């Protein structure tokens, strides 16, 4: 049995605008392709939020099938979700993990992804 893993090499596309959380795998995959222009079979993880900011959905294809994860916060709302003039933005796995814990990634002070070897 495969497990869903999110690590530093996971490519993540975060949808800026909220989506209707009645949507399932097929409708969200179609949204990725038609609205965002990214192949949902690419192995990229797609993150969506609901309008109220009380839940997040993650969609990813692992080569064998789609995973659809839904997290509804027991208290409160998302404290951070980026704003942009595009449909999606790329974020780091660490930023997503902080967001899923209702934190604010912009205050985390991440190091650069790649550093020159001296």
Beta bridge partners of 49: 56
Whether 3 maps to a domain, the answer reads no
* Distance, CA of 94 to CA of 86 (rounded, Å): 22
Contacts of 99 (CB under 8 A, 6+ apart): 47, 56, 78, 80, 81, 91, 105
Q: Which pLDDT score is estimated for 1? A: 45
- For residues 112-116, give the mean pLDDT: 69
The parent domain of residue 33 ranges over 12-107
Question: In the predicted model, is pLDDT for residue 106 greater than 90?
Answer: no
Percent of the chain with pLDDT over 70: 95
- For the chain, the domain total comes to 1
Please state the pTM of the whole predicted model: 0.89
Whether 113 maps to a domain, the answer reads no
Q: Provide the edge-to-edge strand list for the sheet that holds 88-91.
A: 66-72, 55-61, 45-49, 12-15, 88-91
Whether 42 maps to a domain, the answer reads yes
What are the tens digits of pLDDT across the range 31-84?
A: 999 988 999 999 999 999 999 999 999 999 999 999 999 999 999 999 999 988
* Distance, CA of 79 to CA of 109 (rounded, Å): 17
Residue 23 has a CB neighbour count (10 Å cut-off) of 16
């Amino acid at each position: 049995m495969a497990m869903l893993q999110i690590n530093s090499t996971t490519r993540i596309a975060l949808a800026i605008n909220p989506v209707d959380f009645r949507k399932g795998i097929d409708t969200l995959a179609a949204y990725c392709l038609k609205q965002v222009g990214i192949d949902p079979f690419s192995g990229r993880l797609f993150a969506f939020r609901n309008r109220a900011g009380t839940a997040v959905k993650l969609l990813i294809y692992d080569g064998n099938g789609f995973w659809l994860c839904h997290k509804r916060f027991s208290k409160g709302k998302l404290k951070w979700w980026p704003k942009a003039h595009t449909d999606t933005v790329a974020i780091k796995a660490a930023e997503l993990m902080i967001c899923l814990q209702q934190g604010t990634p912009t205050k985390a002070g991440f190091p650069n992804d790649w550093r020159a070897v001296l």
